Structure 1
Amino acid sequence: MPATCHCGLPAAYADCCGRFHRGEAAAATAEQLMRSRFAAFSVRDSAYLMRTWHPASRPPGIDLERKTRWVRLEILETTGGSVVHTEGTVRFRAHYVHRGKPGEMEEHSRFVRHEGRWVYSGAL
């Protein structure tokens, strides 16, 4: 495991996103959920990705490409999504290496509270 979490925050994975992945805590904000989902892609935790996906938009399964390594996350913008909100958005850029070649993808994602927890609702 890296010295800092895959999500980019200056904490060890086990103390940062690892606690969400293990089910010991839930993300308090939409940005925190976005970061934990990026970290889940990095460690190939498909179960966490499915648990944090809104049931109305969740696919039946997720296949994480073994030849893709997620390496860095940039949060570009957030709206709402705090502890007092019920929805929010996060615009981000995710950097990856696929078959040895660097790449990036950008998305503006929507998050909502479902049964009291933040979940990913889809791209805007």
Structure 2
Amino acid sequence: MTSTPDKLLTARQFRYWTRVKRITLGILGVWITLILGSVTFAFGSTQQLFGIPLSYWIISGGLLLSFLLLVICYAVLMDRLDASMNMNATVNSRDAQANAGDKDEIQPGRGRADRH
């Protein structure tokens, strides 16, 4: 990661992408830690279900739930980041589409009723 903004990015965009990388790497680090931690304890049980230790099944279910929780956390963190930096792509693209073209030009589905 570079410490100076790329020539193609503004300072604001550079700060945004730096924060996106930090959030992504943080959540990825938590996910890797959960996986490696669970592997350590997965085969400690002597009870088996379909030839696989029962603790493996329980930890697999826990990892699935933790993955879903991490996805939700990522979505919330990114929404907050987008809102704090005013980087909402949906609103910006909608505004760009609304302002595109000639104001008097009749566009399919957007034309005036009095023009034919």
TM-score, normalised on structure 2?
Answer: 0.21
Q: Give the number of the structure whose alpha-carbon radius of gyration is greater.
A: 2
Q: If each structure's helix is expressed as a fraction of its own residues, which one has the higher value?
A: 2
Q: If each structure's strand is expressed as a fraction of its own residues, which one has the higher value?
A: 1
TM-score, normalised on structure 1?
Answer: 0.20
